[in-house]
């Protein structure tokens, strides 16, 4: 049996805002330094960070993005 879901514009916008807020966990200044140093000095990968810091609730995509940003900024 198929169930039809009807969303109004407001509920869709609230869902989008929730998902954006949920997935955009900002790294603290200390987290950024930690990621940069462990990645450069010990060769940590995104998976290594996830295993080591389980309580941080980071995603692999967030860590990869942070590594790319730091690599770009250090190349300037």
Assess if residue 19 is contained within a domain: no
Q: Is 60 within the bounds of a domain?
A: yes
Q: DSSP character for 55?
A: G
**Residue 14 located in a structural domain:** no
pLDDT tens digits for 23-72? 556 799 999 999 999 999 999 999 999 999 999 989 999 999 999 988 88
The total domain count for the chain is 1
Which range of residues forms the domain containing residue 56?
Answer: 26-75
Global pTM value: 0.63
- Angle, alpha carbons 68-29-63 (nearest 5°): 30
- The model's confidence at residue 73, banded by pLDDT at 50, 70 and 90, is confident
- Residue 16 within a domain: no
Question: In this structure, is residue 15 part of a structural domain?
Answer: no
């Amino acid at each position: 049996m198929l169930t039809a879901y009807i969303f109004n514009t407001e509920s869709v916008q609230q869902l989008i805002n929730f998902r954006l807020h949920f997935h955009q966990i900002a790294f603290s200044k200390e987290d950024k330094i930690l990621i940069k140093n462990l990645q450069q000095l010990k060769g940590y990968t995104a998976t290594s960070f996830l295993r080591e810091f389980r309580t941080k609730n980071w995603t692999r995509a967030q860590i990869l993005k942070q590594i790319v940003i730091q690599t770009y900024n250090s190349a300037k």
